Amino acid sequence: MLKELFVREAVKRGAELEGQELRLCGWAHRIRDLGAIRFVVLRDRSGTLQVVFKKGETPQEALSAALGLREEAVICVKGVLRRAPTREGFELLGRELEVHSSPLESLPLEVHDSTKATLPTRLRYRWLDVRNPKVSAVFKLKAWVARKFRDHFSALGFTEIFTPKIVATGTESGADVFPVIYFGKTVYLAQSPQFYKQMAVIAGLERVFEVGPVFRAEPHHTTRHLNEYHSLDIEVGFIESYNDVMDFVEGFFRRIAEESHEVKELLEEHGAEPLRVPERVPRVTMRQAYEILAEYGKKVPYGEDLDPEGERLLGNYAREKHKSDLIFVTEYPWKVRPFYTMRKEEEPQWTYGFDLLMRGLEVVTGGQREHRYERLRQNLREKGLKEDDFEYYLEFFKHGAPPHGGAGMGLERITMQLLGLQNIREARLLPRDTERLTP
């Protein structure tokens, strides 16, 4: 009986299926001629398998079709699985070949080696680039991280929410937002689900999470910024302090580390090491970070934010001193945090805000939120913002809001750091930046 399988299953069950007729479909990944023999490496989403078309063993019709085959043609092959005579493993002796479609022109990049093309070329022809197993591994790993996020927080009693991406005002300040014409009125694409996940906590859901797109109209031209990306967000009610939020974040990354054996092949495809998470991820205040960086010869003005070099050096510190790929930086300056961040009572120039750095790059931003109505109004005034622009948000806090906090995690940045990618655009299937709107 003819069996239709994915390539990986055929390879894995080789001894069991030896001598049986199989039907496999995919792309002609590589083609090699040796006179009377044509070797075609068949690729599908699960892996690759060599198919042999040999004069005297393959019917003439199939042999002729194989001789006219071009790389990246979409094909289905029927044949008999056998042990490869010149190497370990199994191969398929081709009996029938069906060509569904074939490239109409020369390929703009070599699929089997697409990462050697320039990044603009790869992004321009993304449908070809992602056929490369090394590239598709990025998106399989990314999907795994998102799934682990959902599984992890669902198991902790969090409720998944789905918030609007068309909003009345910007989350941070109204700056760096994309305006949208909405029935004749100017509204904006959401910078984050911040206001709505806080509302969900105040509404009594208490623990919520979301996986969704966010939009930032920042004209960056860096390897770490995108104008559209996916955020993994949590918000938690009835916390004792922002340390509770960090504990939730740390628990998620520990799970990623502990279960990385599930994606061992994807990590190996990029030569990446599993994430190292110690028993306790180091936590340093911003003021302590200034002192640590000074020891590395890096001077950060007191009260200022970290720059990319500062983050990288703190990543080195965590790796060298704590054998950790992660480090929390806490008590961020008020001047660099949004108005809804809770400030230290005795030192209001500092906040209960934190970042998590992963291998020297900020991948999580979070903290405790200000839940007191009058304090929120005061914070808005001190940031130079108009209360009227945030009236709908302030209303959430008029009817009783519990102490709460949360965090937003950049899915593309986490993927980038797990695999050691050089540019965050590699971690987005179809990235959007200041120049790119297609494909």
CA-to-CA distance for 81 and 92, rounded, in angstroms?
Answer: 5
Number of domains in the chain: 2
Q: Residues 413-427: what's their mean pLDDT?
A: 98
Q: Are 18 and 82 spatial neighbours (Cβ–Cβ below 8 Å)?
A: yes
CA-to-CA distance for 180 and 178, rounded, in angstroms?
Answer: 7
Give me the CATH number covering residue 51: 2.40.50.140
* Domain membership flag for residue 257: yes
Q: What is the tens place of the pLDDT at every residue in 310-349?
A: 999 999 999 999 999 999 999 999 999 999 999 999 999 9
Residue 171 pLDDT greater than 80, yes or no = no
Say if residue 113 is exposed, middle or buried (CB neighbours under 10 Å; 0-12, 13-18, 19+).
Answer: exposed
- Among 66, 101, 136, give the residue marking a domain's end: 101
CA-to-CA separations, 272 to 137, 416, 421, 435, in angstroms, rounded: 12, 11, 9, 30
- Among 67, 101, 135, give the residue marking a domain's end: 101
Co-location of 366 and 313 in the same domain: yes
Q: Residues 387-395: what's their mean pLDDT?
A: 93
pLDDT of residue 5: 78
Co-location of 163 and 302 in the same domain: yes
CA-to-CA distance for 329 and 319, rounded, in angstroms?
Answer: 15
Angle at the Cα of 220 (from 214 to 224), degrees rounded to 5?
Answer: 70
In this structure, the number of other CB atoms found within 10 A of the CB of residue 297 comes to 7
CA-to-CA separations, 376 to 283, 315, 370, in angstroms, rounded: 27, 34, 6
132 torsion bin: left (phi>0), alpha (psi -120 to 50), beta (else): beta
- Report CA Rg, the chain: 27
* Domain membership flag for residue 12: yes
pLDDT of residue 319: 97
Look at residues 165, 230, 257, 192 and name the one whose alpha carbon lies nearest to residue 427: 230
Give me the CATH number covering residue 306: 3.30.930.10
Co-location of 144 and 24 in the same domain: no
CA-to-CA distance for 29 and 34, rounded, in angstroms?
Answer: 17
Say if residue 49 is exposed, middle or buried (CB neighbours under 10 Å; 0-12, 13-18, 19+).
Answer: buried
Co-location of 394 and 342 in the same domain: yes
CA-to-CA separations, 197 to 29, 188, 276, in angstroms, rounded: 46, 18, 30
What is the span of the domain harbouring residue 420?
127-427
Co-location of 141 and 73 in the same domain: no
Q: What is the tens place of the pLDDT at every residue in 252-297?
A: 999 999 999 999 999 999 999 999 999 999 999 999 999 999 999 9
Co-location of 392 and 252 in the same domain: yes
Look at residues 216, 225, 230, 128 and name the one whose alpha carbon lies nearest to residue 423: 225
Confidence of residue 384 (pLDDT cuts 50, 70, 90): very high
> What share of the chain has pLDDT > 70, as a percent?
98
* Domain membership flag for residue 107: no
The pTM of the full predicted model, rounded to 2 decimals, is 0.95
* Domain membership flag for residue 281: yes
Co-location of 191 and 79 in the same domain: no
Co-location of 96 and 175 in the same domain: no
* Domain membership flag for residue 253: yes
Co-location of 209 and 333 in the same domain: yes
Q: Residues 136-140: what's their mean pLDDT?
A: 98
* Domain membership flag for residue 27: yes
Co-location of 278 and 336 in the same domain: yes
Look at residues 294, 381, 404, 383 and name the one whose alpha carbon lies nearest to residue 335: 383
* Domain membership flag for residue 166: yes
Q: What is the mean pLDDT of the chain?
A: 95
Q: What is the tens place of the pLDDT at every residue in 1-49?
A: 566 778 999 889 999 999 999 999 999 999 999 888 999 999 999 999 9
Co-location of 141 and 252 in the same domain: yes
Helix and strand numbers (H, E) in the chain are: 14, 17
* Domain membership flag for residue 97: yes
CA-to-CA distance for 369 and 354, rounded, in angstroms?
Answer: 12
Co-location of 173 and 235 in the same domain: yes
- Among 101, 119, 135, give the residue marking a domain's end: 101
The amino acid present at 7, given as its one-letter code, is V
Q: What is the tens place of the pLDDT at every residue in 349-381?
A: 999 999 999 999 999 999 999 999 999 999 999
Q: What is the tens place of the pLDDT at every residue in 69-98?
A: 999 999 999 999 999 987 889 999 999 999
CA-to-CA distance for 343 and 350, rounded, in angstroms?
Answer: 6
Q: Are strands 3-4 and 90-101 parallel, antiparallel or unpaired?
A: unpaired
